Amino acid sequence: MDIYRVSFFGHREIERLSPVADMLEDIVADLLRTKEYVEFYVGRYGEFDQAAASAVRRMRSSIGHSNSSMILVLPYMTAEFADNEKYFYDYYDEVEICPEAAEAHFKAAIGIRNKAVAERSDLVVCYTTRKSGGAYQAVRYADRLGKRVINIAEHINGDTQ
């Protein structure tokens, strides 16, 4: 089976959420229709992460989900996950603790997780509007690896700074 891997990185706050959510849905729907099997790697640290996971759930519900899975990749074990494991497994198909990040200092763990996820991805879908922050660093890393990158902010806002 040909597995196409997609990751999402974006800033914690999004100024105009509706057009971002619409574009996420369009991208996810296209992938579900054109790829044999898609693994969607999502985080849980801000508005973009929530919008991406919601778009994946909506499109999988609408189009079908037999050719995809949504995987939450955490940088380390969190109390929220430990206390609500059933909820997490009801929402996500899989929950993965990134082994490289779990061994690191907690302040570096998210960046390490982002790099590990980018390395596994065929496509990176992002929302970055400034040249700073963890999402921007993850996207730069993916670009250096030669990964295909779609920056939704460029399509909605024009060129970013």
Return the SS3 of 158.
coil
Q: How far is residue 69's CA from residue 57's CA, in Å, rounded to a whole number?
A: 10
Sign of CA dihedral 15, 54, 81, 37: negative
Q: How many CA atoms lie within 13 A of 64 on its CB side?
A: 8
Q: What is the pLDDT of residue 159?
A: 52
What average pLDDT score do residues 133-147 get?
A: 96
Q: What is the pLDDT of residue 106?
A: 87
Contact present, 130 and 160 (Cβ < 8 Å):
yes
- The stretches of 35-105 forming alpha helices (DSSP H) are 47-63, 79-83, 85-91, 99-102
Q: How far is residue 118's CA from residue 111's CA, in Å, rounded to a whole number?
A: 10
Q: What is the pLDDT of residue 137?
A: 96
Overall number of domains in the chain: 1
Whether the predicted model's global pTM rises above the 0.75 cut: yes
* Amino acid (one-letter) located at 143: D
What average pLDDT score do residues 74-90 get?
A: 95
pLDDT at 4 over 90: yes
* Residue 71's CATH number: 3.40.50.450
**Which of 76-85, 124-133, 149-158 is predicted least confidently?**
149-158
Q: Residue 75 has what DSSP assignment?
A: S
Q: Which domain holds residue 115?
A: 3-157
Q: What is the pLDDT of residue 160?
A: 47
Q: What is the pLDDT of residue 64?
A: 84
Q: How far is residue 27's CA from residue 86's CA, in Å, rounded to a whole number?
A: 29
Is 98 buried (19+), middle (13-18) or exposed (0-12) by CB count in 10 A? buried
Give the chain's mean pLDDT: 94
By percentage, how much of the chain surpasses pLDDT 90?
87
- pLDDT tens by residue, 53-69: 999 999 999 998 899 99
- Specify which residues 4 forms β-bridges with: 38
Residue 156 binned pLDDT confidence (cut-offs 50, 70, 90):
confident
- pLDDT tens by residue, 19-59: 999 999 999 999 999 999 999 999 998 999 999 999 999 99
